[in-house]
């Protein structure tokens, strides 16, 4: 399935999220703080999880902010202001590290190491209902 096939209106949350992910590939390779472009492993994993999660929850998929870390890993963050809640998907740059999901609401937080599209859907639905 292509990114274009997933995108309905150009302003939908999934479209914005996918455009933000693809834009990471257009960054300079590095700057004074480290790597700006994501590794292929991080990019492929993030895209697969986002597309699979969108296919499961459709238009309930919330918009994410997207960034790389200094090694080329990708972090997607979904936030909610009231109540103060957040879900983060972290896709590391290399094969030795494991992806994880971080979620928090107020003072309660945890990390999920079993990162699958269905686990991402679970926590995004949790965030939507918070």
pTM: 0.87
Six token digits for residue 81: 């202001």
pLDDT in tens, the chain (130 residues): 445 444 444 569 999 999 999 999 998 787 787 777 999 999 999 999 999 999 999 999 999 999 999 899 999 999 998 889 999 999 999 978 999 999 999 999 999 999 999 999 999 999 999 8
**What is the per-residue pLDDT for 82?**
84
User: Domain residue spans in the chain?
Assistant: 3-129
**What is the per-residue pLDDT for 70?**
87
Burial class (CB in 10 A: 0-12, 13-18, 19+), 103: buried
């Amino acid at each position: 399935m292509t990114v274009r096939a997933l995108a309905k209106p150009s302003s939908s949350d999934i479209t914005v999220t996918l455009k933000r992910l693809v834009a990471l590939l257009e960054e300079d390779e590095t700057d004074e703080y480290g790597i700006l472009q994501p590794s292929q492993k991080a990019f492929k994993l993030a895209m697969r999880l986002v597309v699979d999660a969108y296919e499961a929850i459709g238009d309930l998929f919330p918009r994410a902010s997207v960034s790389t870390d200094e090694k080329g890993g990708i972090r997607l963050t979904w936030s909610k202001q009231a109540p103060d809640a957040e879900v983060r998907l972290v896709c590391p740059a290399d094969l030795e590290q494991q992806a994880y999901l971080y979620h928090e609401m107020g003072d309660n937080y945890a990390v999920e190491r079993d990162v699958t599209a269905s686990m991402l859907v679970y926590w995004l639905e949790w965030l939507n209902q918070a």
